[in-house]
Amino acid sequence: MKNRLEELRKARGITQEELAALLEVSRQTISSLEKGRYNPSILLAFKISRYFGQSIEDIFLYEEDAQ
């Protein structure tokens, strides 16, 4: 699933390590999320959306064809 995580993170001026520490996940998880290789659990998606102050749909872009 595509997402705007990298764009939002860079707009905030924080590193992957810092975002990982804030969300209490590993840096590799942030890296995988940004590359679209890993889809987060609903709990992590909520954590991310709350941190950036945006809805989940605005951050994670659902594509029906990808299923």
Binding stretches for another protein (CB under 8 A): 20-21, 24-26, 28-29, 32, 38, 40-41, 43-44
Please give the structure tokens belonging to residue 64.
Answer: 């029906």
| Residue 27 C-beta: closest distance to another protein, Å | 9
Separation between Cα atoms, residue 12 and residue 23, nearest integer Å: 14
**Helix, strand, coil share of the chain (percent; to 5):** 65, 5, 30
| Residue 41 C-beta: closest distance to another protein, Å | 5
Cβ proximity to another protein: between 24 and 63 the closer is: 24
Separation between Cα atoms, residue 66 and residue 52, nearest integer Å: 25
Cβ proximity to another protein: between 44 and 56 the closer is: 44
